[in-house]
Structure 1
Amino acid sequence: MSVRPDILCIGSVLWDVIGRSDRHMKQGSDVPGHITRLPGGVALNIAMTLARFDLRPALLSIVGRDPEGEELVAACEHLGLLTEHLYRSDDLPTDQYMAVEGANGLIAAIADAHSLEQSGDKILRPLIEGPLGFADAPFDGPIALDGNLTEGLLDQIARHPAFAAADLRIAPASPGKAERLLPFLRAGRGVLYVNLEEAGLLCQTEFEDAPQAGATLIERGAARAIVTDGANVTCDASSDGTLAERPPEVMVTRVTGAGDTFMAAHIASELRGADRETALHRALSTAAAYVAGGPGA
């Protein structure tokens, strides 16, 4: 018998290949460090953090039937994630992400999520054709959604009746994909989780700080916007007002996945009944612990 998930995580599920060095780096740097391969992708990063909060996330994405895909699914199940609703492709390879980080932060990254983009709405079938939901009996729980999907598919989700009852939580995945969230801005749906640069791209302007960006996103039609700005003030903006808090100061040991960890911790807090102020504080503390090298939960 299938387990009912506490939340659905829709988007990229892949392998993260991360090279890290404790030295400052620039273009052309060749330095010693460590290279790791870990389960990753925005949707999967969010799901892994949610699982550490004792929630049961289900993944909706594509994973190939190649050896990398089989290994990835086994790793997800070992982490307590529900994988039965994944679309498994015989033809498309398992996606991957590669990043280089130095003591001065992220140096460069390449996201190979072509299989996710090519799979289209196949990954949504469990929500449209069952067993998770149908157009006339939509899923009524929380959904964490990432912008690695195509803009066309995200536009479909913003308008599709199968998503009408869901609590949508949406992240762009990267600044280069921020504008893919425009359908949710236009529809006034969901909670947008963006950083300062991504907010600027959505609004076609530059902002001095997160509260300014959050207020503008609400003016442009967003139902709610959570805007981060690295070590600077983070805000939670809605028509009910704007909250702001500065993250704890920590020694930075990693950055890849920090935004996903923040988003997951914020969602988990609100699912457990925390008010906006408490949820923001817990999310910032969890993300700071992650950046400092801890598990982030």
Structure 2
Amino acid sequence: MPPEPAPSAPILCIGALNRDLIARHDGPLPAGADRPGRIEARAGGVAFNVARALAREGLAVALLAALGSDAEGAALATEAAAEGIDTAGLIRMPGRASDRYLAIEAGGRLHAAIADTATLEAAGPRILAAVGAWPAGPAALTVIDGNLPVPVLEALARAPRLGAVALVSAGDGKAARLAGFFHRPATRFHLNRTEAEALLARPLADAATAARALRDAGAHEALVTDGAATLAWAAPEGTLRRDPPPARARQATGAGDRLLASLIAALYRGADRAAALDAALAAARAHVEGETA
């Protein structure tokens, strides 16, 4: 997936838009511990996080996601529109509650998380119908979030009108859902090492090993992060490795989404792979240090 000019059609993000509930404690958090901290509620979900960051980068972006028929769904739709995202593709599901994501962070790292995406999963047929009837025609790039159910992901992997795809995992518990995108051209996998291990069902020593293994399994490109350790981006033109810049981590949720969005924005502005990766790492650092939502 070489650098491309800024798209005339919007970038399309397909996946989760939900209410994030994030609890943070500054120090270690042993199992069963009860500690003071802060709890934040905000709009979230992988597809929304990427779409918001792209909109803030000045790119045209549309979001295809599912919401409940509740007041929370109306509020989330309003928040997404306020970020400059095209929300015409938001699907309201009658009689359903909007999805939620609960994360516990300790010392700036993710301690545990649970994603309730029942409404998104129930909306699968409507999401596929919306992709087939998308009024803007083929998207310049489609970002697909691994929160979608397997039948939807497999259908999207075969959808010719999507063109180039950035495929982002939604946690190690859902990483295996992405296997249908192996051997699909113009598709870049975005995972952390733990997610890559779950997808390939074997241990992987580091990000470079994981990225090569994903390429061997059929990924056109693979960008694998590994926390503060070296990350790797394997592509037909070679593998890039980078050490993330040192950061005073204050938040973890959404860091990978921010990295992906900044990488896309840099590539669309004409940066080469190395420069785009450096820009993405700088943006991710700002996020984990608490400079961005």
Query: Which residue does 1:216 correspond to in 2?
Result: 213
User: Secondary structure, in 3 states, of the residue corresponding to 1:205?
Assistant: coil
1:55 maps to which residue?
Answer: 59
Contact persistence 2:9–2:139 (CA under 8 A): no
Q: Output the amino acid matched with 1:238.
A: A
**Distance between the aligned counterparts of 1:55 and 1:196, measured in 2?**
29
The answer to whether the Cα contact below 8 Å between 1:5 and 1:82 also exists between their aligned partners in 2 is: no
Deviates more, 1:257-266 or 1:182-191: 182-191
Among 106, 112, 116, the alignment partner of 1:102 is 106
Structure 1, 284-293 or 100-109: larger mean CA deviation: 100-109
Moved over 4 A (4+): none
Whether the aligned pair in 2 keeps the contact of 1:7 and 1:56 (CA below 8 Å) is yes
Cα separation, 1, equivalents of 2:219 and 2:23: 36
Task: Give the Cα–Cα distance (whole angstroms) in 2 for the partners of residues 5 and 99 of structure 1.
Answer: 34
Query: Which residue type is aligned with residue 232 of structure 1?
Result: A
Say yes or no: does 1:266 pair with 2:263: yes
SS, match of residue 233 in structure 1:
strand
**Deviation (angstroms), 1:204:** 2.1
Distance 1:188 1:141 in 2: 15
Contact 1:60 1:124 in 2 (8 A): no
SS at match of 1:153: helix
Tell me the TM-score normalized by structure 2: 0.94
| CA distance, structure 1, for counterparts of residue 263 and residue 157 of structure 2 | 22
Following TM superposition, by how much is the alpha carbon of 1:127 offset from its aligned partner in structure 2, in angstroms? 2.5
Question: Which amino acid is 1:31 matched to?
Answer: R
Instruction: Quote how far apart the aligned CAs of 1:202 are.
Output: 2.0
2:115 aligned residue (107, 111, 115)? 111
Query: What do the CA deviations read for 1:14-68 (whole angstroms, capped 9, x no partner)?
Result: 1001111112102111111111100000000111111111112111010122100
Match of 1:136 in 2: none
1:155 matches 2:154: yes
- The one-letter amino acid paired with 1:248 is P
User: Is 1:127 equivalent to 2:131 in the alignment?
Assistant: yes
Among 35, 38, 42, the alignment partner of 1:34 is: 38
Report 1 or 2 for greater relative contact order, CA contacts < 8 Å, sequence distance ≥ 6. 2
- SS of the counterpart of 1:32? coil
Contact 1:188–1:221 (8 Å) recurs in 2: no
Query: Contact 1:86 / 1:123 at 8 angstroms: preserved in 2?
Result: no
- Three-state SS of the structure 2 residue aligned to 1:82 is coil
SS in 2 for 1:16: strand
Match of 2:21 in 1: 17
SS at match of 1:108: strand
Q: Distance in 2 between matches of 1:85 and 1:129?
A: 10
Equivalent of 2:180 in 180, 183, 192? 183
The SS at the match of 2:136 is coil
What's the secondary structure of 2:143's corresponding residue? strand
8 A contact 1:26–1:107 mirrored in 2 = no
Secondary structure of the 2:67 match is strand
Aligned length: 286
Task: Name structure 1 gaps, 5 residues minimum.
Answer: 134-138
Paired residue secondary structure (2:223): strand
String of CA shifts for 1:219-265, please: whole Å, max 9, x gaps.
Answer: 11110000101111111101211010101001110001111111111
Tell me what 1:293 maps to: 290
1:189 CA drift (Å)? 4.9
Counterparts of 1:167-182 in structure 2, within 5 Å, are: 167-182=164-179
Matching residue within 233, 238, 252 for 1:236: 233
Could you say what the CA RMSD is over the residues aligned between the two structures, in angstroms? 1.5
Does the Cα contact within 8 Å between 1:126 and 1:132 map onto a contact in 2?
no
Deviation (angstroms), 1:186: 4.0
User: In 1, Cα distance between the equivalents of 2:53 and 2:25?
Assistant: 24
Q: Partner letter of residue 156 of structure 2? A: I
Aligned partner (choices 64, 69, 73) of residue 73 of structure 2:
69
Q: Tell me how far 1:216 sits from its aligned partner.
A: 1.5
- Which segment is superposed worse, 198-207 or 238-247? 198-207
Task: Say which SS state the counterpart of residue 281 (structure 2) adopts.
Answer: helix
Contact kept in structure 1, 2:263 and 2:280, CA below 8 Å: yes
**Could you tell me how far apart the structure 1 residues matched to 2:214 and 2:112 are?**
28
**Alpha-carbon distance, 1:125 to partner:** 2.8
Indicate the SS of the match to 1:8. strand
